Amino acid sequence: MTKELWWQNSVVYQVYPKSFQDSDNDGIGDLRGIINRLDYIKKLGIDIIWLNPIYKTSNIDGGYDISDYQSINPTFGNMSDFQELLDKAHQLGLKIMMDLVVNHSSFEHEWFQKSIADYSKNNHYRDYYIWRDPVDNHEPNNWGSFFSGPAWTYDEDSGQYYLHLFAKEQPDLNWDNQEVRHSIFDMMNWWASKGIDGFRMDVISLISKPTGLPNAPVEEDSLYGNAGDACANGPHVHEYLREMNEQVLQKHDWITVGETAGVTTSEAEKYANLNGTELNMVFQFEHVSLDGNSNSALGKWSDKKVSLMDLRENLVKWQKALAGKAWNSLYWNNHDQPRAVSRFGNDSVEYREVSAKMLAALLHFMQGTPYIYQGEELGMTNANFQKLSQYSDLESINAYHELVEQAHLLNSDDMMRYLRARSRDNSRTPMQWDNTNHAGFSDAEPWLAVNNNYQSINAASELKNPNSIFYFYQKLIELRHTKPIITHGIFDLVEGNENDEEVFAYTRKSEGETLLVVANFTSHDVNRQYNIPTNSELLIQNYKSIQDDILRPYEVRAYLFLDTSKIT
């Protein structure tokens, strides 16, 4: 039996504070808003809340541009509000995981301000960031930023460029400098002393840059080299994480998750190894990249639907590769991804509810720690914005300008369609609490428009309906807490399922018990026969009654039985 680690049978709820609940009616969510909604999160059965960044910020990238790691964004509240949130969460048995954004800081951070102010050799802050001389009067290499344009910005005063894999207001910290690492570890220990319960580490796979910062391959039609690929899993990343582990993580019984862009299964075995020398688990990106354009300048911008064949192949690969060696995070969406039901399910009035439940069950019975993004438990859908001016996210707006106006790779209508399918703002619209003005999020006009469908899709109506998506999630969480097979069972596909274009069917096995999950991924009936023993327990289903061999549109069922024989 594997050693029990508390975060393995826990469920995480992700709160994007700016869009969760506004308590002071400025149209922006805040810490007091979260405090007021802790009972709701508790009711769902959650163990851990992951808070997106709540620190002082220049507000260029939703708080991922931190100007002071040790103070709270005044729009969200202050340190005593944070302490109250932490204390009240703990009283309810909820843990709080913070976001750690240390691949880069904001340009307004004191370290960068000191770094840029003085380029003489005796300014030790200069080396906190990555400065290089021009090459042939140009940027030091061909890297592009994740948010369009070059990954380098020129500083007139010193005649040097600084590196920023994201916006120019997000300069990359130089992890090769030991003083930088120690300053970060000190800051983490300072948060530890406040009593937090862990960190989600933003793009932690990108912190160690390749030696010599060489040019990166340029995808067809692209203006720049792919810096993400060039920096992912760099030469010292595991060394630096082991150092962090020794100096910070080991001292605390925390949950840690690395957001690891570009991670492969063999790299994940290192980041999330079960010996605990680095992090507890990783967020991998493959299953949310299958419906993009690989090796193309268009990148993620598309409205393609992934096929069940591709999606399953990928999820199964991760389930099997990490088993017994490392630990998966399970997620369909987050603040960077479109809404799960719109992307992987079917958000039509007819199928939204069943398909949201199907996706939930399919993911929650897999091995790993599930993450629920705020509103997912209500079946919230994509924003459906029609105009560019409705968008707020810099990634979306910059991509529109670069792809439509600069590179002329797309016409405006296509790009608007792709934004509706993939923009990060799809998941950032305010939480839909009830059917009152602004969905109960705020009395003021929210910073980003509320989805038009809030009158029918909201928490108040979900809580009134015993068959709602909310209660379906509640049941899944309760099952994870009470059935160890969901945490530890060995994952396998049902024999022959790898060729099934309509149904995803897998088992988890543990000590003579079998859990069988079957899910119809289509909007029509399909006929399948599975060998289900008569004494089996139907743990959960998303239709009121069962028709033995017929799986109705998006139907999902999970059975538990005592049997070690093969399911066919």
Give the interface with ligand ISL as residue ranges (CB under 6 A): 61-62, 64, 101, 146, 166, 202-203, 259, 261, 300, 335-336, 395, 424
Closer to ligand ISL by Cβ: residue 61 or 347: 61
- Name residue 469's amino acid: I
Residue 202 CB, nearest approach to ligand ISL (Å): 5
Rank residues 98 and 457 by Cβ distance to ligand ISL and give the closer one.
98
**What are the tokens at 402?**
């670069």
Angle of the 352-364 helix axis to the 469-482 helix axis, nearest 10: 10
**Any catalytic annotation for residue 202?**
yes
Pick the closer one to ligand ISL by CB: 85 or 201.
201
Q: Which of 202, 393, 492, 555 is catalytic?
A: 202
Q: How far is the CB of 259 from ligand ISL (least distance, A)?
A: 6
Beta strand pairing status for 329-330 and 369-373?
parallel
Alpha carbon distances (Å) from 434 to 29, 66, 374, 458, 464: 16, 32, 14, 5, 11
Nearer to ligand ISL, 311 or 485 (CB): 311
Alpha-carbon distance of 330 to 319, in angstroms, equals 10
Residue 179: both structure tokens together: 């003083």
Q: Is 259 a catalytic residue?
A: yes
- 138 DSSP assignment: B
How far is CA 337 from each of CA 88, 231, 395, 508, rounded to the nearest angstrom?
30, 22, 12, 28
| Rounded (to 5) percent helix, strand, coil in the chain | 35, 20, 45
Closer to ligand ISL by Cβ: residue 331 or 454: 331
Smaller CB distance to ligand ISL: residue 268 or 551?
Answer: 268
Least CB distance to ligand ISL at residue 155 (A): 21
Query: Residues 259, 336, 492, 563: which is the catalytic one?
Result: 259
Could you tell me if 341 and 359 are in contact, meaning their C-beta atoms sit under 8 angstroms apart? yes
Cα distance between residue 362 and residue 506, in whole Å? 9
> CB–CB of 334/371 below 8 Å?
yes
Report which of 299, 229, 215, 296 is spatially closest to residue 264, judged by C-alpha positions. 229
Q: Which is nearer to ligand ISL, 180 or 469 (CB)?
A: 180
Closest approach of Cβ 366 to ligand ISL, in Å? 21
CB within 8 Å of 137: residues ≥ 6 apart? none
If the CB atoms of residues 105 and 468 are measured against ligand ISL, the closer one turns out to be 105
Inter-residue contact 241 to 271 (CB < 8 Å): yes
φ, ψ for residue 151 (rounded to 5)? -90, 10
In whole angstroms, how close is the CB of 468 to ligand ISL at the nearest point?
29
From CA 522, how far away is CA 554, in angstroms rounded?
Answer: 6
Taking phi first (over 0 means left), then psi (-120 to 50 degrees means alpha), and beta for anything else, what does residue 530 get?
Answer: beta
Q: State in angstroms the smallest separation of the CB of 523 from ligand ISL.
A: 27
| Shortest distance, position 338 Cβ to ligand ISL, whole Å | 9
Q: Which residues contact 389 (CB under 8 A, 6 or more apart)?
A: none
Return d(Cα 108, Cα 58) in angstroms, integer.
Answer: 7
The Cα 442–Cα 17 span in angstroms is: 13
Q: Least distance to ligand ISL from the beta carbon of 283, Å?
A: 8
DSSP reduced 3-state for 296? strand
Catalytic residue positions?
202, 259
